């Protein structure tokens, strides 16, 4: 189970996100059953780092599955998504006077406004215009309070608020696109009357707003519970958070009842296993004492990792067996009683919750006296989010078995005819590279990896002599021009990102251009922690388009492990055609002119 190269991880299944989006979309029906009324749209709410699941990959998966747009609480969350290269509409709705409104407007982030912030937004538009952006204009949605008592314009203040919005729209400073409100008790079906009262108040507010503005607006009211239980609240759009993550908002009603699949699994492995006598105190306060001689397992996650201290007797799986927490959950760890006959060893896989064990985040939430929303959202920063795709190949966010994160911001495909074009391409790419850049290079024997890297080295102006690094693991080619060195690595024999980092690459990466052959799923870690939204790298996949020598399938070393890819491996004297797919990940590559690298584009 713990085949991931991490000691602990929140494993996020992007296929489950897509499944949940599609299954939620299936529920959305036009409010009037005539052909003119469109189906409601779905806003994927990815605030709080997608409820702890990783905002960027989740946002991409949700959009790929048909979500219309994204929703977040803070403008800064929206700006991070923009920096990651996401261009879908994003709504942000919780501001203070310190919110960077001008930045938001410049990045085309739609702003939910409740009162004072409407004029602050208009002020930011004027400031942008004074600074030279004559076209600046803010897109806003009006937020109405229909009973929740938090944000939103109160009914009594509505006439003035709507009139002001109309005035600013007339003046060309804002464009009012939508109107929304938030429900207070939709998760409690017994309190349908209160939800109904909010819905009616909202519809009155919509009337006021549309009349004042003189045009229609996107009306949105439903959160996950209302999306699942109140079709009459779907209107033009629903705002779904919890449901995306495959969790149920209704106490005691499992998400599976709604066809939703849990997205997060919290996994680790045992840090220790030991035999103890009867009467052994366990963890702080000795709140648990063994009744008889037994075997204790140590689980290396604690409240610093978001495992609630109060979840005393929460369930978990150790090597597929059901156990419960024994004694206090501490900051970094807790203990399980494995029983006197236990045969598990350190490293035995542990799942606290997730589809494999069938244990839900709800069970942990219940043990801790909280809700599943809080449980997943508070998984700590010390736990890497590892994005996988159990339908790998079925979606554009597929990843390999190593569980690397993210989706490319750019993808360029092209054909390279022979050595000259391959090296010319590499030389052009070298012109874009700078110290700190990481390039993962994959390709069969004879696909041209060494030819490519030689061209890259020439373009970077490093010392010659580039051969396949198979024998040496890693080779440094110092720059002869005061630029970055080229570090050329073969990761084929390495099993994990940790092993790769252990080779000392971490020390050279910042000052070099690092090319890692067979580093897919590992080398990305060099470019930054998987959770770091700024982590950026390139992934180049070369394949031979036609026959040629060396027909070994995968791996540079052939079936018996004795064939090595020396510098003539890629038929450096032939004019074979190769297909190259260059995928760029992270904000570093969002703007670079990668399309210009194409030598001669064939087909599409």
Q: What is the contact surface with ligand PLP in residues (CB under 6 A)?
A: 45, 47, 93, 182, 223-224, 239-243, 249
Query: HSE of 531 in the Cβ direction (CA atoms, 13 Å)?
Result: 16
Report the residue closest to ligand PLP, judged by CB.
241
Looking at the Cβ atoms of 241 and 455, the one nearer to ligand PLP is 241
Minimum Å gap between C-beta 224 and ligand PLP is: 3
Q: β-strand 90-92 against 110-113: which pairing, if any?
A: parallel
Please give the Cα distance from 243 to 21 (Å, whole number). Answer: 8
Please give the Cα distance from 139 to 305 (Å, whole number). Answer: 38
Q: How far lies 117's CA from each of 89, 93, 459, in Å?
A: 20, 10, 52
On whether 150 is known to bind a ligand per the annotation, the reply is: yes
Q: Which of 378, 418, 441, 428 is nearest to 583 (CA)?
A: 441
Asked whether the beta carbons of 12 and 387 are under 8 A apart, the reply is yes
Q: E strands within 315-448?
A: 315-318, 321-326, 334-337, 349-353, 385-388, 410-417, 438-443
Print the SS3 string covering 77-101. Answer: HHHHHHHCCCCCCEEECCCCCCCCH
Minimum Å gap between C-beta 51 and ligand PLP is: 7
Looking at the Cβ atoms of 51 and 353, the one nearer to ligand PLP is 51
Looking at the Cβ atoms of 249 and 408, the one nearer to ligand PLP is 249
Select which of 143, 274, 284, 549 is catalytic. Answer: 284
Helix (H) or strand (E) holding 211: helix 192-213
Looking at the Cβ atoms of 47 and 583, the one nearer to ligand PLP is 47
Minimum Å gap between C-beta 26 and ligand PLP is: 17
Q: Say which residues have a Cβ less than 8 Å from residue 366's Cβ, sequence separation at least 6.
A: none
Please give the Cα distance from 397 to 384 (Å, whole number). Answer: 18
DSSP 54: -
Looking at the Cβ atoms of 92 and 522, the one nearer to ligand PLP is 92
Let me know if 303 is a catalytic residue.
no
Chain-centroid distance of CA 105 in Å reads 24
Looking at the Cβ atoms of 47 and 385, the one nearer to ligand PLP is 47
Let me know if 47 is a catalytic residue.
yes
Please give the Cα distance from 302 to 418 (Å, whole number). Answer: 55
Q: Order of strands across the sheet with 294-299?
A: 272-276, 294-299, 334-337, 321-326, 315-318, 349-353, 264-269, 8-13, 385-388
Tell me the β-bridge partners of 487: 476, 514
Q: β-strand 281-282 against 218-222: which pairing, if any?
A: unpaired
DSSP 505: I
Minimum Å gap between C-beta 160 and ligand PLP is: 23
Looking at the Cβ atoms of 24 and 325, the one nearer to ligand PLP is 24
Q: Which residues are catalytic?
A: 47, 284
User: What residues are designated binding site for substrate?
Assistant: 150, 331
């Amino acid at each position: 189970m713990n085949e991931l190269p991490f000691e602990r991880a929140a494993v996020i299944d992007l296929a489950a996100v897509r499944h949940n989006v599609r299954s939620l979309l299936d529920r959305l029906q036009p409010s009037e059953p005539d052909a003119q009324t469109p189906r409601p749209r779905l806003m994927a709410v990815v605030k709080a780092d997608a409820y702890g699941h990783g905002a960027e990959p989740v946002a991409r998966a949700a959009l790929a599955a048909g979500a219309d747009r994204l929703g977040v609480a803070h403008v800064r969350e929206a700006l991070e998504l923009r920096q990651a290269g996401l261009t879908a509409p994003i709504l942000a709705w919780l501001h203070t006077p310190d919110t960077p409104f001008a930045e938001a407007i410049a990045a085309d982030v739609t702003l939910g406004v409740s009162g004072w912030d409407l004029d602050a937004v208009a002020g930011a538009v004027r400031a942008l215009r004074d600074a030279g952006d004559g076209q600046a204009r803010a897109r806003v949605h009006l937020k109405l309070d229909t009973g929740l008592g938090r944000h939103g314009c109160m009914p009594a203040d509505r006439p003035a608020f709507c009139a002001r919005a109309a005035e600013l729209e007339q003046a060309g400073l804002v464009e009012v696109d939508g109107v929304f409100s938030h429900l207070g008790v939709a998760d409690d079906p017994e309190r349908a009357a209160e939800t109904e009262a909010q819905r009616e108040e909202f519809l009155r507010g919509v009337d006021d707003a549309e009349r004042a503005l003189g045009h229609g607006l996107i009306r949105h009211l439903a959160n996950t519970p209302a999306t699942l239980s109140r079709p009459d609240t779907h209107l033009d759009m629903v705002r779904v958070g919890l449901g995306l993550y495959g969790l149920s908002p209704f106490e005691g009603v499992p998400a599976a009842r709604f066809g939703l699949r849990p997205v997060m699994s919290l996994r680790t492995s045992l840090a220790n296993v030991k035999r103890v006598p009867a009467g052994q105190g366990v963890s702080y306060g000795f709140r648990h004492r063994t009744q008889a001689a037994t075997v204790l397992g140590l689980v290396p996650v604690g409240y610093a990792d978001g495992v609630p201290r109060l979840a005393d007797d929460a369930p978990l799986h150790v090597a597929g067996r059901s156990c419960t927490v024994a004694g206090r959950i501490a900051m970094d760890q807790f203990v399980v009683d494995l029983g006197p006959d236990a045969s598990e060893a350190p490293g035995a896989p542990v799942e606290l919750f997730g589809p494999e064990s069938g244990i839900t985040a709800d069970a942990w939430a219940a043990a801790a006296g909280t809700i599943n929303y809080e449980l997943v959202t508070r998984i700590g920063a010390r736990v890497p989010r590892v994005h996988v795709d159990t339908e790998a190949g079925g979606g554009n966010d597929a990843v390999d078995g190593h569980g690397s994160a993210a989706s490319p911001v750019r993808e360029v495909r092209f054909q390279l005819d022979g050595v000259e074009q391959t090296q010319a391409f590499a030389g052009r790419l070298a012109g874009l590279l700078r110290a700190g850049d990481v390039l993962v290079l994959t390709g069969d024997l004879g696909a041209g990896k060494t030819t490519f890297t030689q061209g890259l080295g020439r373009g970077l102006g490093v010392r010659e002599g580039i051969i396949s690094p198979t024998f040496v693991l890693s080779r440094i080619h110092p720059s002869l021009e005061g630029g970055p060195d080229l570090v050329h690595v073969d990761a084929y024999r390495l099993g994990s990102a940790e092993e790769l980092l252990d080779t000392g690459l971490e020390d050279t990466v910042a000052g070099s251009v690092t090319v890692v052959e067979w580093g897919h799923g590992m080398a990305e870690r060099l470019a930054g922690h998987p959770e770091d939204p700024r982590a950026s790298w390139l992934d180049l996949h070369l394949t031979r388009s036609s026959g040629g020598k060396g027909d070994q399938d995968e791996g540079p070393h052939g079936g018996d492990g004795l064939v090595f890819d020396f510098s003539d491996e890629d038929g450096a004297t032939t004019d074979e055609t190769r297909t190259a797919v260059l995928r760029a990940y992270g904000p570093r590559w969002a703007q670079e002119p990668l399309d210009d690298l194409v030598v001669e584009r064939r087909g599409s």
